[in-house]
Structure 1
Amino acid sequence: MCIERDRPKISLRRQCQMLSLPRSILYYQPKGESAENLRFMKLIDKQFLETPWYGSRQMARYMQRQGHECGRHRVRRLMRLMRLVPIYQTPNTSKKHPQHKIYPYLLRKLTIDRSNQVWCVDITYIPMHRGFLYLVAIMDWHSRKVLSWRLSNSMEADFCVEALNEAIAKYGKPKIMNSDQGSQFTGFEWTQALKDADVEISMDGKGRWVDNRMIERLWRSLKYECIYLNAFENGSETRAGIGKWMAYYNAERPHSTHGILTPDEAYDRKTEPMRSAA
């Protein structure tokens, strides 16, 4: 007779691997932060959109002036958890893996005048009523079109690679992909995916958020126009809400850079022909 309790337990992550399912389908599981910390994180995130030069010391002062008992050590931990780095370079704001290669910034003095010439990628913190998620998006630099995006409850690189593969499958490949120096984008899984697709790798200088400013502006618009206007309860609601806003952003919301053209229209207007794989 088979005794069920003698069978080894298999984690949900392992089950996903066995079924060839992406781990990001588990995005709806809440993180283990207290309700107070979740409230503080939302306040910090909102203020950081207004004052992106605030480090943990200045942010702690802001929180205390607002009447919140939130010291610098807690603020620093929460900002690191949310992947918030001040616009000026500070020591030890994020520790890179010692074996990860940092690639040069390739966009300096480069004229970007067509779609699929340069793509950019970034990750941001998304608050929910209970818990939070991480959102990665891949954007075409010229048109500002969001090519793909994914939600995850962890900062592992797999959900970033999934978004990259989807974007390449739908739109071809760019000449250059630009990112920050976060471990998700310096690690083997991400960089190898770009090398396999024959895409040049560009990375911002340390502490230079302005090098990837296009997608930073996307986060600001998304949070003010969607996230903070809706108290999403869970991952399913968050995913549906973000999906609706992304569709509106691409197809209906004209971008100032292109006058009355939407990102979809600007992308289709001047696209670099897809190159064959190496």
Structure 2
Amino acid sequence: MRRPARPLDRVNRQFRADRPNELWVSDFTYVSTWQGWLYVAFVIDVFARRIVGWRVSSSMTTDFVLDALEQALCARRPGGDGTLIHHSDRGSQYVSIRYSERLAEAEIEPSVGSRGDSYDNALAETINGLYKAELIHRRNWKTRESVELATLEWVAWFNHHRLMAPLGYIPPAEAEANYYRQLETPVAEPALT
């Protein structure tokens, strides 16, 4: 039986979106605790750099990253019209049959960068770096529960309070609210003279 081809890189390091639910990027990172290693996955909507899904796990299984994707799908309910691209690295979890099938079910177009090149998933890597610098590296972590609670609080703070230079120094939630508000504002008709 022939193995399906790997997804193309549909992003080509262009981490820009004109609207929410146009491009999501995903990755996971490692966190050391007294109980052993944990893994934290994020799904980020590129438009406003908003974290739309995340999960903490003690193992690097496909289920772990699928849980983060399911949270994003539940929170965002993308249109299912095939216009959303999901970009990740070539990690085995993201190119697995189950993950690929779930993207197809949700009518999300998969995209993966090249192997071993962090620049091909730079925005997700940047969010991982901010997470570690702003939260994880500030103290020692004893338990999974403490990492989960702190991550929950950090994601809420990040989405609603962290000022982002690419967004004009406003938080991701405000950038999205501004986008939707602009859609509701009627365009003035030019006066007939």
Relative to the length of structure 2, the TM-score reads: 0.84
Correspondence for 2:145: 236
Report the aligned-residue RMSD. 2.0
Which structure 2 residues correspond to residues 198-209 of structure 1 after superposition, within 5 A? 198-209=107-118
Which structure 2 residues correspond to residues 89-100 of structure 1 after superposition, within 5 A? 99=3
Which structure 2 residues correspond to residues 71-220 of structure 1 after superposition, within 5 A? 99=3, 101-108=5-12, 112-173=17-78, 175-220=84-129
1:236 maps to amino acid: E
Question: Radius of gyration: which is bigger?
Answer: 1
- Aligned residue for 2:125, secondary structure, equals helix
8 Å CA contact 1:100, 1:187 repeated in 2: no
Post-superposition Cα deviations, 1:66-99, rounded to whole Å, max 9, x if no partner, equal xxxxxxxxxxxxxxxxxxxxxxxxxxxxxxxx94
CA distance, structure 2, for counterparts of residue 165 and residue 221 of structure 1: 23
1:137 maps to amino acid: F
**Bigger strand fraction:** 2
CA distance, structure 1, for counterparts of residue 168 and residue 53 of structure 2: 23
CA distance, structure 1, for counterparts of residue 137 and residue 13 of structure 2: 36
Shift of 1:208: 2.3
Q: Which runs of 5+ in 1 are unaligned?
A: 1-97, 274-278
Relative to the length of structure 1, the TM-score reads: 0.59
8 Å CA contact 1:101, 1:186 repeated in 2: no
Size of the alignment, in residue pairs? 175
CA distance, structure 2, for counterparts of residue 139 and residue 131 of structure 1: 26
- Aligned residue for 2:93, secondary structure, equals helix
Shift of 1:117: 0.5
2:143 maps to amino acid: N
Shift of 1:207: 2.3
